[in-house]
Structure 1
Amino acid sequence: MNLETSFKRKVTYITGIVLLLFPLFYLGQPATSDPDGGRGGKLAQLRAENYLAQSNLGEIDPVSSTMQLATFGLRPIAVIVLWEKATRFQKMEDYDNVTATVNQISKLQPNFVSIWKFQAHNLAYNISVDFDNYRHRYQWVRRGIDFLMEGTQYNSQDAKLVQEVGAYTGSKIGGSDEKRQFRRLFAEDDPFHQRMENYGLEMDSQLVAGVDGKPDNWKVANRWYQKSEDVAKFSDGGIRGSWLMFYERKPQALIYYAISLEDEGYLDTNAQQAFATAYAGLEELGSLDIFSQFTGTTIRLNQGPELQRKLDGMRIEMNKLAPGVRQAQRDKRFSELPKPQQEAINLAPELRTEYHQRMVQESTEALFVSETDVANAVPEDVKEQALELAAEAEALAVRADAVYYMRSMINYDYWLKRCEMEQLDLAINARKTTANADELFVAARLQPAREQYEKAWTMWTEIFNKYPSMITRDTGQNLMPSIGNYVELLSQFDEEVPEGFALQELVDLAEAELAPLPESNIQFPSPANPDRIKGEIPKPAFPSN
């Protein structure tokens, strides 16, 4: 009886084990990396649907300690070991092994986005600068971008990672000290263009073609930014972080493309058309619904004038409900200000010193009369209506302030005006004349150079009179070397820059930025004086007479 019971129990266990193999196979069958292979079991399919499928362990060295750790479920430790190896190889300047090790890290944790970002930056920015030849530096920048593109394969729902590819393609190639050489190498790099094509970018499109018909790095960056927006729109991940910083990248690439054309001497309709395209991109940005953390809602950058008109209308309506109340409130607050602040406000703006300006700024908040303040001071019969209007007006004011703040964050108004200004024939002619003057100066033809410079300054004066907001560091960046040449040219004639020089404001701006900062008297504890209190202003070593 006991033997029969034991036998039945064994048969039952074996049958159960065999039966359980079928659901285990259904659930746990691994997927294969072969595109013609199966999708695997249910778990493998769920990993694929959620972009967590990893079938690339076979690409790791099978006899390495890394593979041994990974197969025993110690993948994080294996990554740490490899990361230490990569750091050690980089210190030894063994860059081939750095690349091989980084590739193994990406195979172990392909869905860990930070690995792709960190190591791509390491390749493109840190390792590349160790080489003297710009062609070698370009190859390492290319490897960094290629590494990022590979990362987008495993993290296709991460819009920020896709955007990083555009940032490296634009800023690293087009913003480095070697940007002229890098841009030329990129335009001629057909194998790299094919790699980008393989990752889903249309490299034979006019949307990426520069003046010479070859792919331009800034326009390619613009297409990567568009791709990142598409990912954010259609994926579950959406946009992490600031929406404004995310969406500004696309038109920004077009602006830098137009500026690059001018820097490279394309002072013609090509540059004008590029700025027109950038202007259209900025207008498109202005019409997007962008989430604002300031208001907790979406707003548009081009809503500012509309919101201000509505707000002005509400204030007029409020003033009708309570005539004279707003001014009476302000006069009362003015009378309560300290005497120095009152005197500063009453002083004509052109006579105010820095001290007076500070007094005026300090009093601005105290003098501000909100709509709620006005509503609380109206007669009782209209108070309820006034309070409702005040609440609506102040909510609208918050939205208007958010629009203004967001526009100022990305210098939106400046770039919109800059793109408009650069399309003028006058602006193109001014840049041409300035470039001709520079060439004459380098050729030591001083008198013709002087004539051309002064002709150019007249054109720039006309432009700045029409667009006064253009007198900034960004606009003057290209003009300052030419102004420097002009100053040196005048010295050859034993002359100084004439009083009332047309571009004196740009010169003053540049000198203010180059002026050294005053040395701070605040010191910290040091080995020579360990007893000094942190932040203490040191006393003179010797008493002054």
Structure 2
Amino acid sequence: MNKLSSKHRKLAYVIAIIILLIPVIWLGMPSTGEEGSGGELAQLRVQYELGESTLGDVDPSSASMNFVLLGLRGIATNLLWMDAKDYQERKEWAKLRSTVDSIILLQPHYMKVWDFQGWNLAYNVSAEWDAVEDRYFWVKEGIKFLNEGVARNERFPELDWKIGNLHGQKVGRSDEWKQFRRFYKVDPNTERYDGGPDPEINPERLDNYQVAKQKYLIANEKELKHKQHLQMRMLFRAAPWHAQFDYANAMQREGKFGKERTDAWAQGFKEWTTIFGREEFITPKGAVVLEWTDDDIENLAKRDNVSVSDKKHWTDRYQSTANYRFWRTRALSESEQQTIDAHKAIYDGEVSFTEGKFDKAQAELEKGMSLYASVLNKYPSLMAEDLAIEEGLKAVLLWRDIHDLKGIPAPESFPLKPLWIKEQGRVPGLQEDLRRDLGIQ
């Protein structure tokens, strides 16, 4: 057997390495981001949406960090989470934010990181500040953090839903909702934003509930391709239309009872019944639609090979779960003049009370209570909704406070008495809210 010289062996090794590199390069060449670039594996990852770039924007520093840490990423992440909690407890906000930024370098596609920290900044951290302006700043930080999460993770409709929830519920329903809604259109940092909103939060200068609706619609669009794991599908997809109702309701909470408010309720009714109400949702007995006719029920029963009674049963159950009939009735009733007059009289009574005009306040409240009682008698299902109940109870509380201030007993019989008796469990909390909001001693 001829033995190869050392030189020949080395040459053979080099040739073998080159030959082996050819399939490696062909298979594993990374993509440049352009269509058709990269090796066979890179193109397959793009085709089947398995690559990191298909999840959203890629941060090169994130990939570098993971490479340097090798198998220690989990340990490093746990330590950073512990540091973040410690900084929050010590109220070292700058260090908290930088630590959170380090966490997302290590876990850019772990949804819970974005979800929890966005919520944490908007709720927990903001609550630690005394000035409302500072609280609003941290609410914005929570929204911006989630915006970054959406850019990095396009397959999580839950994140878009969470952003919508912060725009809607945090800005519009907090104890500071009056200031937050004002800051939403005119940021307290007037010098930086020229007397307008923060463009990262509200680029189109819309109402916070209108932006929430936009985010919920994006979430619904993504949910058609990527399953969400936040809540029942029907409730998830109802969010845009609830934001529309919240938009209309917010205007009347601020004393706006004109055409814009009425049109908003009318739009809500139309979208609730013609878009959400006509969407099919799957039950154990096939598909149902919430806004149905007899023909719908019969056709769906025939298509799914089930009985009409089964189809009606599951339609009714899903309507109840979504509170569909209530919101249908509420939106319809809010377009009626009697309902508008009732809201306006109660609102005017509250304003007169704060101005110390007790006789005028009493007259307006009694007018509003009488009209509101008529609305509830016409639409008794309204007495199942928190805001509707609280509006009536607050009117009665103010009316009774006026009698106390005058040193005279309130009459035993008064409009809304059935609601007052039925909802006594809510009264102490509402009374405390009124005393805080209106400065009642």
The answer to whether TM tops 0.5 is yes
The match for 1:437 among 342, 349, 356 is: 349
Determine the structure 2 residue equivalent to 1:195.
200
Q: Is residue 160–residue 218 contact of structure 2 (8 Å, CA) maintained in 1?
A: yes
The match for 1:150 among 133, 148, 151 is: 148
Determine the structure 2 residue equivalent to 1:24.
24
Determine the structure 1 residue equivalent to 2:432.
none
- The structure-2 alpha-carbon separation of the partners of 1:498 and 1:124, relative to structure 1 and needing over 3 Å to count, comes to same
Structure 1 unmatched runs, 5+: 198-202, 205-213, 315-390, 517-545
Deviation at 1:188, TM superposition (A): 2.7
- The structure-2 alpha-carbon separation of the partners of 1:421 and 1:107, relative to structure 1 and needing over 3 Å to count, comes to same
- Opposite residue 401 of structure 1, the aligned amino acid is H
Deviation at 1:224, TM superposition (A): 0.7
Q: Is residue 120–residue 144 contact of structure 1 (8 Å, CA) maintained in 2?
A: yes
Determine the structure 2 residue equivalent to 1:397.
309
Aligned with 1:302: secondary structure? coil
Q: 1:299-378, aligned counterparts within 5 Å? A: 299-303=288-292
Determine the structure 1 residue equivalent to 2:257.
267
Provide, for residues 284-339 of structure 1, a one-character-per-residue CA deviation record: whole Å limited to 9, x for no partner.
Answer: 211101223x43x321112376678999xx9xxxxxxxxxxxxxxxxxxxxxxxxx
Asked if 1:453 is matched to 2:365, the reply is yes
Provide, for residues 475-524 of structure 1, a one-character-per-residue CA deviation record: whole Å limited to 9, x for no partner.
Answer: 121232221121122345554443442211221133144589xxxxxxxx
Q: Is residue 69–residue 78 contact of structure 1 (8 Å, CA) maintained in 2?
A: no
Aligned with 1:298: secondary structure? strand
- Opposite residue 19 of structure 2, the aligned amino acid is L
- Calculate the TM-score normalised by the size of structure 1: 0.68
Q: 1:412-423, aligned counterparts within 5 Å? A: 412-423=324-335
Determine the structure 1 residue equivalent to 2:318.
406
The match for 1:226 among 217, 221, 230 is: 217
Deviation at 1:221, TM superposition (A): 0.7
- Calculate the TM-score normalised by the size of structure 2: 0.83
Deviation at 1:8, TM superposition (A): 4.0
Aligned-residue sequence identity (percent) comes to 27
2:109 and 2:119 mapped to 1: Cα distance? 17
Q: 1:243-258, aligned counterparts within 5 Å? A: 243-258=233-248
Deviation at 1:262, TM superposition (A): 0.7
Alignment coverage as a number of residue pairs: 413
The match for 2:389 among 473, 476, 481 is: 476
2:278 and 2:42 mapped to 1: Cα distance? 42
1:417 and 1:104 mapped to 2: Cα distance? 49
Tell me how large the CA RMSD over aligned residues is: 3.3
1:448 and 1:192 mapped to 2: Cα distance? 37
Q: Is residue 69–residue 75 contact of structure 1 (8 Å, CA) maintained in 2?
A: no
- The structure-2 alpha-carbon separation of the partners of 1:244 and 1:511, relative to structure 1 and needing over 3 Å to count, comes to same
Q: Is residue 122–residue 139 contact of structure 2 (8 Å, CA) maintained in 1?
A: yes
Determine the structure 2 residue equivalent to 1:377.
none
Query: Which stretch has the larger CA shift, 45-54 or 172-181?
Result: 45-54
1:459 and 1:428 mapped to 2: Cα distance? 9
Aligned with 1:4: secondary structure? coil
- The structure-2 alpha-carbon separation of the partners of 1:437 and 1:121, relative to structure 1 and needing over 3 Å to count, comes to closer
- Opposite residue 291 of structure 2, the aligned amino acid is N
- Opposite residue 215 of structure 1, the aligned amino acid is L
- The structure-2 alpha-carbon separation of the partners of 1:195 and 1:40, relative to structure 1 and needing over 3 Å to count, comes to farther
Q: 1:68-79, aligned counterparts within 5 Å? A: 70-79=68-77
1:106 and 1:39 mapped to 2: Cα distance? 28
1:89 and 1:467 mapped to 2: Cα distance? 52
Provide, for residues 366-389 of structure 1, a one-character-per-residue CA deviation record: whole Å limited to 9, x for no partner.
Answer: xxxxxxxxxxxxxxxxxxxxxxxx
Determine the structure 2 residue equivalent to 1:372.
none
Deviation at 1:45, TM superposition (A): 4.7
Determine the structure 1 residue equivalent to 2:433.
none
2:315 and 2:244 mapped to 1: Cα distance? 23
Determine the structure 2 residue equivalent to 1:215.
206
2:120 and 2:216 mapped to 1: Cα distance? 22
Asked if 1:288 is matched to 2:291, the reply is no
Deviation at 1:3, TM superposition (A): 4.3
1:436 and 1:45 mapped to 2: Cα distance? 66
2:405 and 2:179 mapped to 1: Cα distance? 34
Aligned with 1:456: secondary structure? helix
Q: Is residue 70–residue 78 contact of structure 1 (8 Å, CA) maintained in 2?
A: no
- The structure-2 alpha-carbon separation of the partners of 1:310 and 1:106, relative to structure 1 and needing over 3 Å to count, comes to closer
Larger radius of gyration between Structure 1 and Structure 2:
1
Determine the structure 2 residue equivalent to 1:56.
59
Aligned with 1:177: secondary structure? coil
2:215 and 2:259 mapped to 1: Cα distance? 26
Provide, for residues 11-48 of structure 1, a one-character-per-residue CA deviation record: whole Å limited to 9, x for no partner.
Answer: 2221121233344334434457xx89996544445555
The match for 2:122 among 124, 137, 150 is: 124
2:181 and 2:37 mapped to 1: Cα distance? 42
